[in-house]
Amino acid sequence: MNIIEFIQHFPNEESCESYLKAYREKTGIYCKTCKSSPKQYWFSGKKFFECSQCRRRTSLKAGTVMESSNQSLHTWFTAFLLMSATKKGFSCLEFQRQLGLKRYQTAFSLMHKIRTVMGKRDDLYFLNGMVEYDEAYVEKATKKALQEHLKRGKGSQKQSIVAVASESTPLENPQTGEKSRHCGFFKMKVLPNVSADSVERFVQKTIDRESVLFTDKNPAYINLEKMVESHIQIKSSKDSTKANLPWVHVAISNLKKNLLGIYHMVSEKHLQNYLNEFVYKLNRRYFGEQLFNRLIIASVYPYVQHYE
């Protein structure tokens, strides 16, 4: 959906309400007491559903990312539009200005709630087939006084460690024999450190056991072969790693440009949420204007069932 269509479809609170009501009725309203989705009655005056079995009331926002928010549906829908409108994303100040929000904190909280939804949505999927894996080191915001005492360079305390994985299918042109690689879905998670334990936990949560995993050589990867179909380690220098793990490194370089361009410095506490937004959009790079609808779907229906 582009901005013109958005203004036509969602000019006010009522239009957002009727869209959300219809969507929730179509997908089934989850009753937290019955732990299922029995038939619900709609009370239009007070705007809630009532469970036909236990009479528990469910508001339009309940069970969605908008639950317990004072912001109007129209503000939320506009926020979904802004968050899905550009590849790069908005800074929080710009987002606050565009939504006409009085407080910076409100904008910040809205954005991070939506980023959490994006991450939860992507957590539902595993990478499979041929998969590349490496770590990225991202500059983080630290208190100035502390910075002076911290080490410089790779793995220093001024950098956060991010695990990055990408589906990577090798292709060969049958006529020329020329080899290339096609990428699929990506994953990025903040790691506490590059220990065998941390890397294994990431692989277990994000990569299908049937996959073929490509990495460079690192003692932390020692047990990975037990977690996938096959683990191929490539001894590498700085340059050959980029050639052997091409998509992971394209993604890392784009991530750094993105973080630097919009947010300058990101604190480690919030880094995962920025990664969620970046990867969500990267994984849906061909969705175009469908991204808005997908974001509403991710924000509304499966929220309660999957994330309770």
DSSP assignment, residue 151? P
Least Å distance between CB 56 and Zn ion? 5
User: Does 243 contact Zn ion by CB under 5 A?
Assistant: no
Angle between helices 13-27 and 291-300 (to 10 degrees): 70
Interface segment toward Zn ion; rule CB under 5 A; list 43-51, 118-126, 238-246, 261-269: 43-51
User: Does 54 contact Zn ion by CB under 5 A?
Assistant: yes
Place of tokens 């939320």: 76
Bridge partners, residue 57, by sequence: 50
Least Å distance between CB 304 and Zn ion? 13
- Rounded to whole angstroms, how far apart are CA atoms 42 and 46? 9
Nearer to Zn ion, 33 or 305 (CB): 33
Instruction: Judge whether 228 and 203 are in contact, CB under 8 Å.
Output: yes
Choose which of 37, 48, 56, 142 interacts with Zn ion (CB under 5 A).
56
Least Å distance between CB 25 and Zn ion? 15
- Rounded to whole angstroms, how far apart are CA atoms 181 and 279? 19
Instruction: Judge whether 12 and 74 are in contact, CB under 8 Å.
Output: yes
User: Does 52 contact Zn ion by CB under 5 A?
Assistant: no
The residue among 61, 96, 285 whose CA lies nearest residue 183 is 285
Interface segment toward Zn ion; rule CB under 5 A; list 28-36, 66-74, 130-138, 176-184: 28-36
Interface segment toward Zn ion; rule CB under 5 A; list 1-9, 45-53, 167-175, 199-207: 45-53
Interface segment toward Zn ion; rule CB under 5 A; list 44-52, 129-137, 177-185, 204-212: 44-52
User: Does 53 contact Zn ion by CB under 5 A?
Assistant: yes
Q: DSSP 3-state assignment of 302?
A: helix
Nearer to Zn ion, 49 or 80 (CB): 49
Tokens describing residue 48: 């809630």
Exposed (0-12), middle (13-18) or buried (19+): which is 14, by Cβ within 10 Å? exposed
Bridge partners, residue 149, by sequence: none
User: Does 31 contact Zn ion by CB under 5 A?
Assistant: yes
User: Does 3 contact Zn ion by CB under 5 A?
Assistant: no
Interface segment toward Zn ion; rule CB under 5 A; list 34-42, 119-127, 152-160, 244-252: 34-42
Residues that bind Zn ion (CB under 5 A): 31, 33-34, 51, 53-54, 56
